[in-house]
Amino acid sequence: MTQYRLEVRVKPRPGLLDPQGKAIHHSLNSLGWSGVDDVRVGKAIYIDMQAESADAALDAADVMCRKLLANPVTEDFEVSLVSEQEAATS
């Protein structure tokens, strides 16, 4: 088995209301950053796990997102491999 670190990025779907993003956008404009056109707030989730292969780890994380980590109605997600290392087998 190999140890993998995955990064999951969850963000609101385009066109849907993002109150946090709007509040930050307004605040940035108030502080003088008038060139900021839009702000969207999401979340990053880091998962350390063991799997047989990078593809198996990515597939597992995809299922995790569909079942728990992202709301399929209002959010999109991306899963990427950050690093891998041989896990100690003892």
Q: How far apart are CA 28 and CA 35, in angstroms?
A: 9
Q: How far apart are CA 42 and CA 82, in angstroms?
A: 18
Which residues, including other chains, have CB under 8 Å from residue 55's CB and lie 6 or more apart?
none
**So what's the pLDDT on residue 85?**
78
Give the CATH fold of the 2-85 domain.
Mth169; Chain: A , (3.30.1280)
* Structure confidence by residue, pLDDT tens digits, 44-90: 999 999 999 999 999 999 999 999 999 999 999 999 999 877 655 44
Domain boundaries, the chain: 2-85
Q: How far apart are CA 38 and CA 22, in angstroms?
A: 8
* DSSP β-bridge partners for residue 11: 76
Q: What sections of 1-90 are H helices per DSSP?
A: 19-30, 54-64
Average pLDDT, stretch 37-45? 96
Is residue 27's pLDDT more than 80?
A: yes
* Structure confidence by residue, pLDDT tens digits, 2-22: 999 999 999 999 989 999 999
